[in-house]
Structure 1
Amino acid sequence: MRYESRLRVAAPARTVWELLADPGGWPGWTPTVTAAEVKGPGPVGGFGTGSAVTLTQPGRRPTTYTVDAFEPGRRFRWSRTAAGVRQWADHVVRPEGADRCEVVLTFAMEGPVGALLGRLGAGTVRRMVDTEGASLKARAEDTAART
C-alpha cells in the first residue's frame, strides 16, 4: 500500500520546511499528531539522519520511526519495521519561486503483512496524510502572510 498527496502551498519553501522538519512542533498545527518526541543525533536541532521520532496519534499507541534520508531544506524520510511490516513516510518540499512551493507527502506499508494492513487501513491512511498536508498548508500560508 502506498499513498501520495501533492499540494501547492502559497508560502516560501523555507517556511514550509521549518514547520515540517520540526516534528516536535507538529501537535501545534496538525490534529493527526498529539505528541512527538525527537531524539538526536541529527544536525538540525537534533533532527536529521539517524534521529528517532516517536509520534502519538489519536487512538493509536506511540510509534517510533528512524530518519533514514535527510536533505536539509528539501526532504526527509523515516521508517520502521515491526511484525513483518515496513512502514515509511517521505516528506518533500520543492520550491516553485520565491514564495510558493509544492509539498509531496507519501506513506507506504510494505511486506506480506503490510499489504494486508494497507488494504484494511487505506482510508484512514489517506485521511491522515491529507489532513497533515492541509494543516501544513494552512499553517505555512498563515505564517507567510504574517511576515
Structure 2
Amino acid sequence: MRYATNVRVDAPPAAVWAVLADVGGWPQWTPTVTAVETGGAGLAVGTTVTVSQPGRRPTPYTVDTLEPGRRFRWSRTAGGVRQWADHVVRPLPGSDSCEVDLTFAMEGPVGGMLGRLGAATIRRMVDTEASSPKARAERSAG
C-alpha cells in the first residue's frame, strides 16, 4: 500500500522546509500528531524520531534519507511490516512558491493487508499532514 499527495504552498521553499523539518513542532500545527520525541537531536540520517498519533501507540522511525532544505524520509520495520514516509519540498520554477510532496507506504508480507484495511485513515492523515504545514508556512510568510 502506498499513498502520495502534494500541495502547493504560497511561501518560500526555505520557510516551508523550516516548518516541515522541525518535527518536534509538529504537534503545534497538525492534529494528526500529538507528540514527537527526537532525543534532542535534529534531523540526521540515523536519528530515531518517535511519533505519537491519536489512537495509536508511539511509533519510532529512523531517518534514512536527508537532503537538507529539500527532503527527508524515515522508516521502520516491525512484525513483517516496513513503513516509510517521505517528505519533499519542491520549489516551483519562476515563483517564490513550492509544492510539498508526502508519501506513506506499508510494505512486506503483512504491510499490504494492513495498508488496505487502514487506507481511508492513512489517506486522511497524509492529506492533513500535507495541508497543515501549508497553512502554517503561508501564515508566517504573509
Indicate whether the TM-score tops 0.5: yes
**1:34 maps to 2:34:** yes
Q: How does 1:93-108 map to 2 (within 5 A)?
A: 93-96=89-92, 97-108=94-105
Q: How many residues align?
A: 141
Q: How does 1:4-15 map to 2 (within 5 A)?
A: 4-15=4-15
The equivalent position to 1:65 in structure 2, one of 47, 50, 61, is 61
Tell me the C-alpha RMSD between the 2 structures. 1.1
Instruction: Tell me if structure 2 keeps the 8 A contact 1:39–1:47.
Output: no
Q: Secondary structure at the match of 1:99?
A: coil
Deviates more, 1:80-89 or 1:93-102: 93-102
The amino acid across from 1:89 in the alignment is: A
Q: How does 1:69-84 map to 2 (within 5 A)?
A: 69-84=65-80
Quote how far apart the aligned CAs of 1:15 are. Answer: 0.6
The amino acid across from 1:141 in the alignment is: E
The CA deviation string for residues 57-110 of structure 1, in whole angstroms up to 9 with x for no partner, is 001110000000000000000000000000000000011145200110000000
Q: Mind listing any 5+ residue stretches in structure 2 that lack a counterpart?
A: none
> Which 4+ residue blocks in structure 1 deviate beyond 6 angstroms?
none
Deviates more, 1:28-37 or 1:94-103: 94-103
Q: How does 1:1-147 map to 2 (within 5 A)?
A: 1-39=1-39, 46-96=42-92, 97-145=94-142
CA distance in 2 between counterparts of 1:46 and 1:100 reads 25
Quote how far apart the aligned CAs of 1:142 are. Answer: 0.5
Query: Among the aligned pairs, what percent are the same residue?
Result: 71
TM-score (norm 2): 0.96
TM-score (norm 1): 0.93
